[in-house]
């Protein structure tokens, strides 16, 4: 067998990205191999590239938002996690996290992230210069070398299916925010997760959704995906005036029943608290890495206003269910999901893309909404 796979390997912190070749593995029992069609690149990848995630060592093979076609199935792999039969050639979305599914943390506490048998997720396994190799999505192939890897079959186009991960994170936020029929919602930040939060808020029955962020192209997409009104932060740079603009857009001087914070700075968190109506909820998704602290008054910011602040870490417990729900929502269609991926970048462009994500969010003279690596481009 002389078939080979190629992978974009980050050699060190903010270092070179080399394209390395590997023999295609033969999957053992319970394992499978996938030809990667598209792999989303997100802020987490850019943080790892900058050396901000201690658990990942270099050289590293990143990429955890993986969609592709099954090319080889190990013994016993006959169905996806929803019980639907699969065969070689089927397109699937891969659930990257690997917990045992049997222990106390996994089954009783339902905190798979705390599983003592948790192995590094696909796209986080390192170093990449020892077997099993091909454990991340920035490659032509993924070797799902952990028997029992969760995956879901899908007929969606890769550019839409790749939104499964950001949408599952947004769904976690929406569940924590208690948005329901008739709720007023502010989505702060219109990156991929903010855009997916707009979709999720609408699906949850929100009566009014206001998206706050920029630049204009992203706000237009937020409107197309279901936001009733948008507030451009560059046009209203002063936070106090912005709070007024958001309340006007909501048509509600009290603030929102729920704020979904995806902007990702400590200052944005403070601003988000101010946008919640008394008795409402802030679900904070944005400060996913340590960006610092903010002044916080437990009396006047929290108790007196009777608000709830929910920390939302990734797709959370029940991630497998949310991954599945995300595909279901995407399949429902009717929205311009195919416009969210703004850039498809070949493996050779991975470094440029990682730098753009950690920098000014522009690539090829265009604003980035969502980047994806297309390993066959």
CA distance 146 to 238: 50
Contact 56, 124 (CB under 8 A): yes
Q: Which is nearer to Zn ion, 245 or 371 (CB)?
A: 371
Contact 98, 147 (CB under 8 A): no
- Nearest partner of 24 among 12, 38, 34, 16, judged by Cα: 34
Cα within 13 Å of Cα(119), Cβ side: 16
Please tell me whether residue 103 binds Zn ion under the rule CB under 5 A: yes
Please tell me whether residue 99 binds Zn ion under the rule CB under 5 A: yes
- Which span sits near Zn ion by CB under 5 A: 20-28, 44-52, 320-328, 357-365? 44-52
Please tell me whether residue 19 binds Zn ion under the rule CB under 5 A: no
Among 106, 167, 246, 285, binds Zn ion (CB under 5 A): 106
Residue 109 in tokens: 């506490």
Please tell me whether residue 159 binds Zn ion under the rule CB under 5 A: no
- Nearest partner of 42 among 262, 219, 337, judged by Cα: 262
- Which span sits near Zn ion by CB under 5 A: 95-103, 229-237, 243-251, 368-376? 95-103
Nearest distance from C-beta of residue 114 to Zn ion, angstroms: 8
- Nearest partner of 120 among 99, 148, 95, 92, judged by Cα: 99
Q: Which is nearer to Zn ion, 7 or 193 (CB)?
A: 193
Please tell me whether residue 48 binds Zn ion under the rule CB under 5 A: no
Q: Which is nearer to Zn ion, 100 or 236 (CB)?
A: 100
- Nearest partner of 18 among 10, 6, 28, 26, judged by Cα: 10
End-to-end Cα spacing for the chain: 24
Contact 32, 77 (CB under 8 A): yes
Nearest distance from C-beta of residue 172 to Zn ion, angstroms: 13
Residue 254 in tokens: 């009290």
Residue 277 in tokens: 């109506």
Number of residues that bind Zn ion (CB under 5 A): 7
Nearest distance from C-beta of residue 300 to Zn ion, angstroms: 35
In the shown chain, the binding pattern of residues 109 to 148 toward Zn ion, with x for contact by CB under 5 A and - for none, equals ------x---------------------------------
Q: Which is nearer to Zn ion, 78 or 102 (CB)?
A: 102
Q: Using CB positions, name the residue nearest to Zn ion.
A: 115
Nearest distance from C-beta of residue 84 to Zn ion, angstroms: 25
SS3 category, 153: strand
Q: Which is nearer to Zn ion, 42 or 273 (CB)?
A: 42
Among 38, 42, 160, 197, binds Zn ion (CB under 5 A): 42
- Which span sits near Zn ion by CB under 5 A: 97-105, 153-161, 212-220, 232-240? 97-105
Nearest distance from C-beta of residue 153 to Zn ion, angstroms: 21
Nearest distance from C-beta of residue 12 to Zn ion, angstroms: 21
Q: Which is nearer to Zn ion, 136 or 255 (CB)?
A: 136
SS3 category, 145: coil
Contact 137, 80 (CB under 8 A): no
Within 259-318, which residues bind Zn ion (CB under 5 A)? none
Contact 28, 75 (CB under 8 A): yes
CA distance 64 to 162: 10
Nearest distance from C-beta of residue 262 to Zn ion, angstroms: 13
Please tell me whether residue 100 binds Zn ion under the rule CB under 5 A: yes
> Each residue of 339-370: b (16+ CB within 10 Å) or e?
bbbbbebebebbbebbbbbbeebebeeeebbb
Q: Which is nearer to Zn ion, 61 or 231 (CB)?
A: 61
Cis, peptide link before residue 144, omega less than 30° from 0 = no
CA angle 143, 289, 285 (to 5 degrees): 90
Nearest distance from C-beta of residue 93 to Zn ion, angstroms: 13
- Which span sits near Zn ion by CB under 5 A: 99-107, 213-221, 327-335, 354-362? 99-107
List residues binding Zn ion (CB under 5 A).
Answer: 42, 44, 99-100, 103, 106, 115
């Amino acid at each position: 067998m002389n078939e080979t796979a190629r992978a974009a390997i980050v050699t060190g912190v903010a270092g070179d990205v080399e394209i390395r070749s590997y023999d295609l593995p033969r999957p053992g029992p319970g394992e499978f191999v996938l030809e990667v069609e598209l792999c989303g690149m997100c802020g987490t990848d850019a943080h790892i590239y900058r050396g901000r995630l201690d658990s990942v060592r270099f050289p590293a093979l990143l990429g955890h938002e993986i969609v592709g076609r099954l090319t080889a199935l190990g013994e016993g792999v006959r169905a996806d996690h929803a019980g639907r039969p699969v065969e070689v050639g089927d397109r699937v979305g891969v659930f990257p996290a690997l917990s045992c599914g049997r222990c106390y943390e996994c089954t009783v506490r339902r905190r798979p992230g705390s599983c003592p048998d948790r192995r590094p997720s696909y796209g986080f396994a390192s170093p990449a210069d020892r077997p099993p190799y091909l454990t991340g999505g920035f490659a032509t192939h993924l070797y799902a070398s952990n028997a029992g890897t969760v995956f879901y079959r899908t007929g969606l186009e890769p550019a839409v299916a790749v939104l499964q991960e950001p949408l599952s994170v947004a769904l976690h936020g929406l569940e924590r925010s208690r948005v329901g029929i008739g709720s007023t919602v502010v989505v702060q930040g219109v990156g991929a997760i903010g855009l997916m939060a707009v979709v999720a808020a609408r699906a949850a029955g929100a009566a009014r959704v206001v998206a706050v962020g920029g630049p204009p192209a992203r706000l237009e997409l937020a409107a197309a995906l279901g936001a009733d009104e948008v507030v451009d932060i560059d046009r209203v740079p002063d936070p106090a005036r912005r709070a007024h603009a958001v309340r006007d857009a909501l048509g509600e001087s009290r603030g929102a029943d729920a704020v979904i914070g995806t902007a990702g700075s400590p200052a944005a968190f403070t601003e988000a608290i101010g946008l919640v109506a008394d008795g409402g909820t802030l679900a904070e998704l944005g400060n996913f890495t340590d960006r610092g602290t903010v002044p916080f008054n437990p009396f006047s910011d929290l108790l007196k206003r009777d608000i709830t602040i929910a920390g939302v870490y990734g797709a959370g417990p029940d991630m497998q269910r949310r991954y599945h729900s995300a595909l279901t929502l995407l399949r429902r269609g009717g929205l311009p999901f195919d416009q969210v991926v703004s850039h498809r970048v070949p493996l050779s462009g991975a470094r440029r893309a990682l730098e753009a994500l950690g920098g000014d969010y522009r690539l090829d003279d265009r604003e980035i909404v969502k980047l994806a690596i297309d390993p066959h481009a």
